[in-house]
């Protein structure tokens, strides 16, 4: 199937949550203590939802593949549709409730308490969708999950047969990241999106440039490394680039990495060069922290264009081929 004939630009597949987000604590409580939040919101959450909503806000045709429960699943689906996301790929598990996360957030970091709920059915749904070529309607598939290491090679092959480019953000799944088989999967991706802690777990390195060099040495083609308040780095076809952070006053960092992913994929699918993709990603990740949750403060295309000139890029080095 030719890309021009496809229904969607991106299909985002992954876990879906209802996020309960609290911030504005005067101290971080120890066990047995109580801390009172100044701010609270409930929002659609999970990397799949946040990345999909960001891409839709920038004008791309986006769908989501995921699972919700019958309790508040319709609230999740309705919220995605209101953001312009095609939710026809979401199924309902009548036996489990919708997953939820309680996020305790500060300006620089956050902690999550998560119940997986209906997401337990997602791996089965993903394999079925890939095998039945249901993902072939998209130019690009972004996996916001940690695919089963045994089944992943077959999954990736099925996606390639669907004529899709492929990206992955596994989040913090230590057993996946530390497994030697994971690096072999990264080599099969068009772009991999770890944060600094995840990359350190995979590579054993502590310096961002060394992390990216380790990915290159293992055969990875493209890795976008999220460095939080220090910006981001990018390995692209043997070249390492760093982007300074876009200046903001953060309120809540929930979903910043997923918003970064959306920005990078938007640039990539628009045919931008890797430096521009990194700049867009850094801006989107930063601006998403200006309000609670990962969706509400994701920038419009107009705001993104206004901010575009304020992020500096530095080429670190060319690696030997």
CA separation for the pair 185, 134 (Å, rounded) = 22
CA separation for the pair 144, 11 (Å, rounded) = 10
CA separation for the pair 211, 203 (Å, rounded) = 6
Tokens of 134: 């249901």
Output phi, psi for 121, to 5 deg.
-85, -10
Domain ranges of the chain: 3-16+45-98+116-318
Tokens of 221: 């083609």
CA separation for the pair 119, 97 (Å, rounded) = 9
Cβ atoms of residues 232 and 201 within 8 Å: no
Strand locations in the chain, DSSP E? Answer: 8-14, 17-23, 39-45, 62-69, 86-93, 100-105, 110-115, 138-144, 165-168, 191-192, 222-226, 232-236, 239-243, 313-318
Confidence of residue 103 (pLDDT cuts 50, 70, 90): confident
Residues 17-57 have pLDDT tens digits of 999 989 888 888 889 999 899 989 899 999 999 999 999 99
Superfamily the domain 3-16+45-98+116-318 falls into: Ribokinase (3.40.1190.20)
Q: 105 pLDDT exceeds 80?
A: no
Per-residue pLDDT averaged across 220-227, rounded?
A: 97
| Residues whose CB falls within 8 Å of the CB of residue 157, separated by 6 or more in sequence, listed in order | none
Q: 313 pLDDT exceeds 70?
A: no
Q: 308 pLDDT exceeds 80?
A: no
CA separation for the pair 266, 276 (Å, rounded) = 10
Closest CA to 52 of 24, 14, 22: 14
Strand locations in 231-307, DSSP E? Answer: 232-236, 239-243
CA separation for the pair 116, 191 (Å, rounded) = 26
pLDDT computed for residue 310 by the predictor: 62
- The model's pTM: 0.91
Q: 318 pLDDT exceeds 70?
A: no
Give the residue carrying structure tokens 């264009």. 305
Residues 183-213 have pLDDT tens digits of 999 999 999 999 999 999 999 999 999 999 9
Is the dihedral angle over the CA atoms 51, 168, 126, 121 positive or is it negative?
negative
| Residues whose CB falls within 8 Å of the CB of residue 195, separated by 6 or more in sequence, listed in order | 225, 226, 227, 228, 257
For residue 74, the tally of other CB atoms under 10 A from its CB is: 13
CA separation for the pair 249, 246 (Å, rounded) = 10
């Amino acid at each position: 199937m030719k890309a021009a004939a496809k229904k969607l630009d991106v299909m985002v597949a992954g876990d879906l949550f209802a996020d309960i987000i609290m911030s504005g604590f005067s101290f971080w409580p120890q066990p047995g203590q109580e801390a009172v939040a100044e701010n609270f919101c409930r929002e659609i959450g999970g990397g799949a939802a946040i990345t999909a909503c960001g891409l839709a806000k920038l004008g791309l045709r986006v769908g989501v593949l995921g699972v919700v429960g019958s309790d508040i699943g319709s609230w999740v689906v309705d919220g995605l549709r209101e953001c312009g996301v095609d939710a026809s790929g979401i199924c309902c598990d009548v036996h489990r409730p919708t997953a939820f996360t309680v996020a305790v957030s500060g300006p620089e970091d956050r902690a999550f308490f998560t119940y997986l709920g209906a997401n337990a059915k997602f791996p089965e749904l993903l394999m079925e969708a890939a095998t039945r070529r249901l993902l072939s309607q998209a130019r690009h598939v972004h996996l916001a999950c940690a695919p089963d290491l045994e089944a992943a090679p077959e999954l990736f092959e099925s996606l390639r047969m669907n004529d899709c480019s492929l990206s992955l953000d596994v989040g913090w799944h230590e057993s996946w990241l530390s497994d030697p088989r994971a690096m072999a999967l990264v080599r099969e991706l068009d772009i991999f999106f770890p944060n600094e802690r995840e990359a350190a777990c995979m590579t054993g390195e502590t310096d961002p440039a060394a992390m990216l060099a380790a990915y290159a040495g293992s055969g990875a083609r493209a890795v976008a490394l999220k460095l939080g308040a220090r910006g981001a780095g990018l390995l692209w076809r043997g070249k390492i680039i760093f982007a300074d952070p876009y200046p903001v006053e953060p309120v809540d960092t929930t979903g910043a990495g997923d918003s970064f992913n959306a920005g990078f994929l938007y640039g990539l699918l628009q045919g931008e060069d890797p430096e521009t993709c990194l700049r867009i990603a850094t801006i989107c990740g930063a601006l998403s922290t200006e309000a609670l949750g990962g969706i509400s403060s994701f920038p419009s295309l107009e705001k993104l264009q206004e901010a575009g000139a304020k992020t500096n890029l530095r080429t670190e080095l060319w690696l030997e081929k």
